[in-house]
A and B are shown apart, each in its own frame.
Chain A
């Protein structure tokens, strides 16, 4: 995987857990950021390799044992012993949904992003939910009543100035009639000037821009503003560029 490309690869670990007191099934999925593994605790990482940043099982609320850094650069407390205080545990199992006896397909997303930003969630390239981080970086979003199948979800953070972070995408296979938890999503910081005024002049790159480009696809003499890469024709290259700039 090319680490220069800021791309979030998901579905590294899938755990199927059936709470004994409920009929609802929960699937947990963990995100991994390329670049994790360089030994340096970067933004959004809890640890990196043997670099635990001074954390121990004790600081994570356990009595003892060995704290391990996972391949996702998050703490793994499986080897910790003693009783957890709860407050310091990994957020992986936090925030469970209310138990329901009626099966429905639900996806819950949790992660961290820059404080005081708006987090946008895309499902197959279209915006389906937004939330806002407060003074803390944690966020949670939920989707209900979608079909089982393979989805490409994406998130980015934006501020009030219209700046945003790169779009992070992660494929998730959703099973019908269960709750899927996608956790440890790490949204990169907001970057100034990320979104250019493409195609129709707004700061969004969405279905309207896609519609305008498909209208001119392989047509002769496209307007200059429509021809994104300026090669005289609207073709796959132009669509690829707006797919990179996509905001939904």
Chain B
């Protein structure tokens, strides 16, 4: 965070178009970053808010300047935590990280604050970038709002993606795991689902995912679902399928040869 004598234009800010809402009303707060000097490639922080006055209806990380989330923005004990990187780095004013849809629960003043934020330079040494953090403040009044809900439209599925199967002695005891990540240019990715084998059941998964089937002889289906319910799925084919078919073929040929031998010997 910024010391009192430091002058910098770099900033993480909570931004909302509204200064005044009524109880029951939804409103959006965008978390933006201004990077005016050298490019940066890693950010983290947490967003705090008065949890008696506000509740979180949704978090949208679509079209984010962050490419890879280490901690996808999520609610954790009445605060929203996030961390992510952008390989190659970025600069710019008002770069979008994610948005929070709040619901006003009680009358009063509400301040949405950026806390413990870190920005790292894209210079290979991860130099800490001095910056300011700006809050969004608004007033919540009693009374019924005529604009209660924010309407979001997202009809595009997440981007296509290519999972990678790998192993490493330092992860999952050297077992095979799969990594996957994609982006959604609409509201953002909601979750990933994975199943190993055509007839198994989907389960919610995070990358890296420890494969249950270490023989890797089944197809792996991964579905990325966005917040609006649009989905993109990819299939990673099992590697040893050809050898399975060879085994089956050898068995069939063997049985065929046995039957032929039996017929010739008039054993039937």
Contact = CB atoms under 8 A, between A and B. Distances in A.
Interface string A201-241: 00000111011111111000001011001000000111111
A167 B88 contact: yes
Contact of A240 (B126, B160, B181): B126
Interface stretch (B21-29, B102-110, B164-172): B164-172
Contacts of B161: 126
A187 to B, nearest CB: 13
Contacts of A126: 161-162, 181
Interface string B148-176: 00000000110111101010101110000
Given A122-B87, A146-B159, A241-B124, A217 B65 contact: no
Given A211-B179, A241-B124, A246-B88, 16 more contacts: A5-B89, A7-B39, A7-B89, A124-B183, A147-B156, A149-B63, A167-B87, A169-B89, A200-B166, A208-B168, A237-B126, A240-B120, A240-B126, A242-B87, A243-B85, A243-B122
- Interface size of B as a range: 35 or more
Interface string B65-84: 10110110000000000010
A44 interface: no
Interface in A147-172: 147-150, 152, 154, 167-169, 171
A199 to B, nearest CB: 8
Nearest to A148: B185
A247 to B, nearest CB: 9
Contacts of B170: 212, 216, 223, 225-226
A244 B159 contact: no
A141 interface: no
Contacts of A237: 42, 120, 126
A245 interface: yes
Contacts of B63: 149-150
B126 A124 contact: no
Interface of B: 37-39, 41-44, 62-63, 65, 67-68, 70-71, 83, 85-92, 96, 118, 120-126, 156-157, 159-162, 164, 166, 168, 170-172, 177, 179-181, 183, 185-186, 207-208
B208 A244 contact: no
Given A5-B39, A150-B185, A200-B168, A239 B85 contact: yes
Contacts, number: 156
A125 B39 contact: no
Dominant SS among interface residues on chain A: mixed
Given A2-B38, A215-B208, A217-B70, A245 B164 contact: no
B183 to A, nearest CB: 5
B171 to A, nearest CB: 5
A142 interface: no
Interface in A7-27: 7, 9
